Amino acid sequence: MASTPLATDPLWQLCNKSFRCSKQQQSANQMTRINRDSIISFLALCALFTSCASAQKETITVEKQKGGVTVVHHRAKTSYGARDRIEAINAKGVVTQAEVKVYDVGRMPDGHGGMREAGRYYRIVKSPTFDLRLPSKAVI
């Protein structure tokens, strides 16, 4: 018998060569996946650190009014508009607090077939007065 037919067969060499190429392509694909995953992880970390670094900057102003009342405004810009936290300190040292949020809204329908022009919407979030409304009756 002659030497092994597989070693001299050109078809076998061609198949063996294509098998090696596919193995190289697999390793290249794997490296591409690793590079892609590392880039995605890096971008996610950058986004996380950037969002932490862009903390809200708060400006504080002090107003002295008649009667010995001092009003302190803590103003900050937020993603939805602005926020103003107000502290009023009277002459006896009693502190009352309120928080007002300001929303910039566009044109809106007014419910009567017309339009309300763009402007600001003020909402009191915390108030120095108590909520004296009784809770609704619980259904058992």
Domain assignment of residue 120, given as a range: 58-126
For residue 132, being part of any structural domain is answered with no
Same domain, 49 and 68: no
Give the length of the chain: 140
Q: Is the pLDDT assigned to residue 21 strictly greater than 60?
A: no
pTM here is 0.45
The predicted pLDDT at position 5 comes to: 55
pLDDT digits (tens, 9 = 90+) for 29-81: 777 777 778 888 888 877 777 665 555 688 889 998 888 888 898 888 887 78
For residue 72, being part of any structural domain is answered with yes
For residue 131, being part of any structural domain is answered with no
For residue 136, being part of any structural domain is answered with no
For residue 1, being part of any structural domain is answered with no
Same domain, 67 and 117: yes
Number of domains the chain is built from: 2
Same domain, 114 and 63: yes
Q: 15 falls in which pLDDT band (50, 70, 90)?
A: low
